Amino acid sequence: MSNLKIAVQKSGRLHNDSMNILKEVGISIDNGRDQLKAAANNFPLEVFYLRNGDIPQYLADGVVDAAIIGENVLIEKNQNLSVLEKLGFSGCRLSVALPKTAAYSGIQDLNGLRIATSYPNTVNAFLRKHQVNAQVHIINGSVEIAPNIGLAEAIVDIVSSGSTLFKNNLKEVAVLFKSEAVLVKSPKISTVQQEILDTLQFRLQSVLKARNARYVLLNAPNSQLTQIISILPGIKSPTILPLAKPGWSSLHSVINKNEFWEVIDELKKAGAEGILVCPIENMVI
Ligand SMILES: Nc1ncnc2c1ncn2[C@@H]1O[C@H](COP(=O)(O)OP(=O)(O)OP(=O)(O)O)[C@@H](O)[C@H]1O
Ligand SMILES: O=P(O)(O)OC[C@H]1O[C@H](OP(=O)(O)OP(=O)(O)O)[C@H](O)[C@@H]1O
Ligand SMILES: [Mg+2]
């Protein structure tokens, strides 16, 4: 069998975005509900649907060749797996939180507390690093409830919008690290599977670059082009096409989607008109 075996979370926060990004790179998967694995019909790839927390071990053992998982789980399971690509979704952070009313002036204030978490290895490493003496209590879900039911004085859990902390009368006091979904590979991957993974990674990079970029089209008087080009330099340099109206041109360029809003006023001041901003599907540079 020369298919690349890739693990994806079976259900939960990572599942849909993981399947979407595979679809965006043109891979079509025969996806019967409740199947534990499914093959792609246009790419040498098989998807294994697994629990996020089990994936690092499967990678370490070479049961799967690659996976899409949260960085936080990789760190917790500490299997020395290397991250190939950050995928830009499921962004969150692992944080320490305390009851809103608790006094806190620094990490040393965690001394002597009971800390509830689903990430015991990560928390113990953090406590060791800061020479804090606290008791770690492992809870597998709904960690934020622990202080309210007298199980712990502090928690360490995933925070994204912060609304779960807020609803449970907790405050975030320290961030251990930030996490997002990542592409990871097994140290036991074979040469054939590695080649397939290289192709997949190349396609993912082109989709990720495109997600962050926008295609910009605008009209401007020729006298203003030099100034506008300095604002919108593009990948190599912008495309300039003459308009039917004498003395005017259409300028096409690519820009980072976040930078666009910063330069729009500059563009207008420089004389740009009829500015169109379009999404890009793929970028091969
Ligand atoms: N609120 C959140 N916002 C953004 N990303 C999150 C959030 N909560 C979790 N994540 C990310 O999504 C991953 C999967 O979370 P989810 O709660 O679906 O699974 P789980 O219960 O940790 O894992 P399993 O698949 O083993 O049941 C987490 O490891 C983390 O990387
Ligand atoms: O800051 P927020 O946006 O509120 O997100 C944080 C919450 O999201 C995750 O739980 P999830 O909803 O995945 O439930 P789970 O505990 O069942 O995994 C995490 O464990 C937090 O409880
Ligand atoms: Mg969760």
Six-digit token pair at 143? 């960690």
User: Taken in order 264, 270, 276, 281, is the CA torsion positive or negative?
Assistant: negative
The residue to mutate among 51, 52, 139, having the most atoms of ligand 1 within 8 angstroms of its beta carbon, is 52
Other beta carbons less than 10 A from residue 132's beta carbon? 17
User: What would the pLDDT profile of 52-82 be if each residue is shown by its tens digit?
Assistant: 999 999 999 999 999 999 999 999 998 889 8
Q: How far apart are CA 231 and CA 211, in angstroms?
A: 21
Mean pLDDT of the chain: 95
Other beta carbons less than 10 A from residue 265's beta carbon? 9
Residues with CB under 6 A from ligand 2: 13, 141-142, 144, 157-164
Q: How far apart are CA 16 and CA 230, in angstroms?
A: 40
User: Taken in order 25, 31, 36, 40, is the CA torsion positive or negative?
Assistant: negative
Q: Give residue 258's pLDDT band: very low, low, confident or very high (50, 70, 90).
A: confident
| CA distances in angstroms from 7 to 69, 102, 195, 240, 257, listed in the order given | 8, 41, 17, 45, 31
User: What would the pLDDT profile of 189-213 be if each residue is shown by its tens digit?
Assistant: 999 999 999 999 999 999 999 999 9
Mean pLDDT of 223-250: 92
User: What would the pLDDT profile of 15-37 be if each residue is shown by its tens digit?
Assistant: 999 999 999 999 999 876 578 99
247 CA to middle of ligand 2, Å?
A: 57
Mean pLDDT of 173-202: 98
Is a pLDDT exceeding 70 seen at residue 226?
Answer: yes
Please report, in angstroms and rounded to a whole number, the separation of the first and last CA atoms in the chain.
32
157 CA to middle of ligand 3, Å?
A: 9
158 CA to middle of ligand 2, Å?
A: 6
- What is the Cα gyration radius of the chain? 24
0.80 exceeded by the pTM?
A: yes
Give the distance, in angstroms, between the CA of residue 274 and the centroid of all CA atoms in the same chain: 34
Query: Domains in the chain and their CATH numbers?
Result: 4-88+180-210 (3.40.190.10), 92-179 (3.40.190.10), 213-279 (3.30.70.120)
User: What would the pLDDT profile of 76-130 be if each residue is shown by its tens digit?
Assistant: 998 889 899 999 999 999 999 999 999 999 999 999 999 999 999 999 999 999 9
Q: Which residue CA neighbors atom 27 of ligand 1 most closely?
A: 51
Q: Would you say the CB of residue 12 lies under 6 angstroms from ligand 1?
A: yes
